[in-house]
Amino acid sequence: MKTIFTRKHVGTAVMCALAMGAATAQPNPENNALVLDQRSGVVKSGFGLCWHSGTGPAPASTAECGSNYVVPPMARSEPSPKPVAQRVTLDADTLFDFNKADLRPAGRAALDDFVGKTKDITPEVITAVGHADRFGSESYNMALSEQRAAAVKTYLMSKGIESNRISTEGRGETQPVTKAGDCLGARSTAVTECLQGDRRVDIEVVGSRIVR
């Protein structure tokens, strides 16, 4: 049985989602109040969601942002919470049996640990993205990655997280972390273990830090 978090990829990286150009970030009325940085680029979260100022109309679908965006929490008096993004990569072999989309007990424990690490954040958006290795057809791997992301959402909802705050996506085998030339050969135990990093679920929570 694998450890709960991937040894190569696990880690919780907390970052200020508006750190780049925060001092000069301004809403852009001509672009439905999306927040821009000092170089007039749209400020985005770690998963590419565009930031909306919360003071203008909902952004229309654009080539850069699509129809997905994050509305930062309303400014408060003292103390002012900071928008943050917390991202965790979970080993899909821990969450699920190989080639399955039903959460294992170890997978539920891994998600419990993730929920525990976000207790100091009021979540605005949680994104779960499933991935698969190269074995199997592209369409099969896409469907498997989507089913796994959906299983993660269902479990997080059972922990009290509102369904409208959780988005899911499957990316199949399109974004491996192994490099070209790694894990060569037909399917075998050694090659399957080598590709373990490609079987993963990335989870990101964007919200405001709770000041205690």
CB 37 within 8 A of CB 28: no
Where do the DSSP E strands lie in the chain? 13-16, 26-28, 34-36, 50-51, 69-70, 83-91, 121-130, 166-170, 200-209
Please give the Cα distance from 22 to 20 (Å, whole number): 6
Name the H helices within the chain. 92-95, 105-117, 138-158, 189-194
Coil, helix or strand at residue 92? helix
Whole-number pLDDT of residue 71: 64
Give the β-pairing of 83-91 and 200-209.
antiparallel
pTM exceeds 0.85 for this model? no
Task: Average the pLDDT over 47-75 and give the result.
Answer: 64
Q: What are the residue ranges spanned by the domains of the chain?
A: 1-14+78-212, 19-71
- CATH homologous superfamily, domain 1-14+78-212: OmpA-like domain (3.30.1330.60)
Please give the Cα distance from 174 to 189 (Å, whole number): 22
Whole-number pLDDT of residue 169: 94
Residue 152's closest CA among 198, 197, 204? 204
Task: Average the pLDDT over 2-21 and give the result.
Answer: 36
Per-residue pLDDT band at 18 (split at 50, 70, 90)? very low
Q: Give the pair of three-digit tokens for residue 175.
A: 């974004």
Q: What is the pLDDT of residues 107-121, one digit of tens each?
A: 999 999 988 888 878
pLDDT of 24 > 50? The answer is no
pLDDT of 12 > 50? The answer is no
Nearest-Å Rg of the Cα atoms of the chain is 19
